[in-house]
A and B are shown apart, each in its own frame.
Chain A
């Protein structure tokens, strides 16, 4: 079974540009989450999508946005890039089915990440 794939693996952009990152979840997984990893702030939650709807959102400015397609693939977009956006962006998928009140944790499976460098 293929794991979570992220493209591209590496990106170099300049300040002010925008960027789109892509994530393909494990087959059958309908929930996709995005995280930003930096040396200073560590791993921070960006947002989660389920069934093409944003289900949860972290504390990031509106320049960070995402979407999910009907095949569960997800993209995240960062507009007007800043130097501080340089980071490893990780995507994770899970078997979350939309059932509320479930006490069982749906393990998140992470992709290898996209390394974004903003110059």
Chain B
């Protein structure tokens, strides 16, 4: 079945550091891919999405490119802020439901 694998956390960075969170997927067909973010005590918010190969999703300085050849959708940000501290989930739209990775907790220190 469909599955998503993302790098284990937690990840701890200093402010203004470069962020990469790896995500790979297994799916039949060509699913849409997403990154969701969960701040403490809140539900999930859609951060960015890509619906076809080579699409780049971007939002709030975060970017991810849909790579069909490597079945990957890595999340990147050039300069993280303390306010980016949260849990990040990679997900795919499989068989009309979202399939999530286990999540990566990011902590950004000032």
CB-based contact B96/A110 at 8 Å: no
A48 to B98 CA separation, bound complex (whole angstroms): 11
Q: Please, which residues of chain A bring their CB within 8 A of the CB of B44? A: 43, 90, 92, 110
A90, A105, A111: the one within 8 Å of B93 (CB) = A105
CB-based contact B100/A33 at 8 Å: no
A35, A42, A105: the one within 8 Å of B49 (CB) = A105
Interface residues of A in 51-66 (CB under 8 A from B): 55-56, 58
A-B contact count (CB 8 A): 48
A56 to B95 CA separation, bound complex (whole angstroms): 9
Given A42-B103, A105-B32, A105-B51: A112 touches B97 (CB 8 Å cut-off): no
A108 to B42 CA separation, bound complex (whole angstroms): 15
- Interface digits, B35-77 against A, CB 8 Å rule (1 contact, 0 not)? 0100001111110010100000000000000000000000000
CB-based contact B51/A42 at 8 Å: no
CB-based contact B32/A42 at 8 Å: no
CB-based contact A107/B46 at 8 Å: yes
CB-based contact A90/B89 at 8 Å: no
A43, A44, A58: the one within 8 Å of B89 (CB) = A43
Q: Which residues of A contact B (CB under 8 A)?
A: 4, 33, 35, 42-45, 48, 55-56, 58, 90, 92, 104-105, 107-113
12 A-B residue pairs with Cβ-Cβ distance under 8 Å, sorted by A, are A33-B97, A33-B98, A42-B101, A43-B89, A90-B43, A104-B51, A105-B51, A108-B46, A110-B36, A110-B44, A111-B43, A112-B43
